[in-house]
Structure formats: C-alpha cells, structure tokens
Amino acid sequence: MLHFSKCLTIWFGLSFIGNLLQPQQPVDIAKVNLKLTQDDIAITFFDLSSGEATLIQNAKGNTILINCGGPKTQSEMEMMFQLYDIKQLDTVIITKDDIQYDTNIDWIIQNFPVGKIVLASNNEHPYPFLDDIKIEKWKNQDSFELFNHVVIKVENENIGQTDGALDLSIFLKSHHILYMTNAGKLIEKKLLTQMETEVDILKVGDFGAEGGTTSFFLEKIDPKVAIIFQNKNNKPNQEVLERLYDSWIDIYLTKQVGNISIKYSNDQYEIIPIEVNKQE
C-alpha cells in the first residue's frame, strides 16, 4: 500500500519537523541522515540555483548521481555533498550534453572517487575524464541494475536531439520514477508506445518547458507527484503547471520547497522536503 507522509522527521543531531508542501525557515545543519535501514533506498533532488542533480543512495553506501548541476553551482554542490556525506560515487549519469546538466563534472571527478560515468551513446563532449574512470554509453532500451533494487532503463535517446539526451525510467523496488530530460509531444508519444505506463513520480522534462508534459501524457502515466528543477534563465511554463494541477498531481518545485528526498521502504515511500541555507 502506498503511503504519503505529510509531516516527517529528519535527524541531524536534533530533529527537524517539516511540513510537506510549505517548509518553514531555512536551517543550518551539519548532516542530513535519512536513517536508511536494511534495504531502504532514497532519491534526493537537490535544490540548486540552476540545473539538475539527483542522488540515489542506500544504507550500504552505494551512490548514483544523475547530472551535476548548472552554471555557478559548484559551491552549492559542495554543500550538498557535505550535507549528505557523499564520499564517493559508484555511478555518475549525465542525461544531456548541456551546461544545465554537466557543469560540475570536472570538479566531481577531481575531488571524489567515481566508479563509472554514463553518457548517451552519441554524447561526444570532450569531458576531461581521468583515464581510470570507466565510461559507458547507453542507448535506447538499455536496462541496468546498478545495485540491489535499483534498475535504470533508457526509455528514449535523442529524439529530435543532437546533444546526447536520455529519458530514463528509474525503478526503486516496486516504484517507478520517470526521469524526463526532454519535453515535447513527439517524445511523449514514443514513450507511451514502449514503456510501462504506471508511474509514481514524474521528474518533469526541460524544467517545465512549454510544449511538453501534455494533458494526454499525464492522463496515461498518471503520476502522483511531479518534481521540477530550477533553471535560472527560465521559469516553468504556466500552462504546464496548470496541467499538472488539473491532473491532481502534487507539484514540488525545488525553488520553493528546497531539497526533495523520497525514502522507499518496501511498498511505501515518504517525501521529505528540507530547505537549507545555500552558500552565496
């Protein structure tokens, strides 16, 4: 049975009780401990002033980072790594060859052990990767179990794109997150012909850009929650937001609620937003 918790506790020396949709004041904390036990898995969407970065972690210390943040966010990423006690990364996935997704990759590989880096098969960006880092190129319909109970499948690669873009299904236990990078009717039409349509959470593509996240698509995939990252240069399209509201989907904008952690335990999940003071 699916469970949404409206008021949750995050432990970081002392307890912070946060309201699900309207967190209180930003707080200064040393660490965020999601108290993962046994087979628990957490996915956290980082609140950055620009761009995307998402962390998947389990209680054993396995980690996956999807995207690396946008321009001028290195200090923010440093803070996130400290807050979530990230010492190493098993996998870094870059879903698009674009500064909103890959700006901090150089800083990451210079400062943290990285097991492998994943790119779209036609992403030919000359990243300054170290010789000892494994590079994988994923293509359409590839599927990989990266660690126990975490499977990532490429649902779409580069439809109408020339910059190495991936749309992913992330399966955490029995839960399905559709991690959209792109936005547009053509992409959505293709996805509906080949993917499992039951989606718990939608990470909205292209920062909520106009032309994507259509009503027909939302009706078919029927997510309960939508998450939208911040692009400093563009706000989410108002019509996209209205379509999400009209579909009775809970909307989380990182700009408004801060970091968004989702903790998966068996057949339940909890949504844990926390707003923190970011370094200027």
What are the residue ranges spanned by the domains of the chain?
Answer: 38-274
Integer Cα distance of 110 and 106 in angstroms: 6
Mean pLDDT value of segment 18-33: 54
pLDDT confidence of 25, banded at 50, 70, 90? very low
Cα 199 to Cα 115: distance, rounded to the nearest angstrom: 29
Q: Judging by beta carbons within 10 Å of its beta carbon (0-12, 13-18, 19+), is residue 238 exposed, middle or buried?
A: exposed
What are the φ and ψ backbone dihedral angles of 63, each rounded to 5 degrees?
-140, 140
Distance CA 148, CA 146 (A): 7
The per-residue pLDDT for 45 is 98
Residues 31/277/260/13 CA torsion (nearest 10 deg): 30
Burial class (CB in 10 A: 0-12, 13-18, 19+), 25: exposed
Identify which has the larger pLDDT, 14 or 224.
224
Q: The whole model's pTM is what? A: 0.89
What are the φ and ψ backbone dihedral angles of 277, each rounded to 5 degrees? -70, 120
Higher pLDDT, 64 or 29: 64
Q: Could you tell me which residues come within 8 angstroms of residue 215 by beta carbon, excluding any fewer than 6 positions away?
A: 243, 246, 247
* Max CA separation in the chain (angstroms): 49
pLDDT (0 to 100) of residue 38: 87
As a whole number of angstroms, the distance between CA 84 and CA 66 comes to: 15
Q: Return the H-helix or E-strand segment holding 105.
A: helix 105-111
In single-letter form, the type of residue at position 126 comes to P
CA distance 210 to 251: 16
Q: What's the pLDDT at 162? A: 53
The distance in angstroms from the start CA to the end CA of the chain is 42
Per cent of the chain over pLDDT 90 is 70
Q: If you average pLDDT over residues 57-83, what whole number do you get?
A: 96
What does the DSSP 8-state code read for residue 224? S
Alpha carbons 55 and 44: distance in angstroms, whole number: 5
The model's pLDDT over 125-173, given as tens digits with 9 standing for 90+, comes to: 888 887 889 999 999 999 999 998 899 999 998 755 556 799 999 999 8
d(C-alpha 78, C-alpha 75), whole Å? 5
**Which architecture does CATH list for 38-274?**
4-Layer Sandwich (3.60)
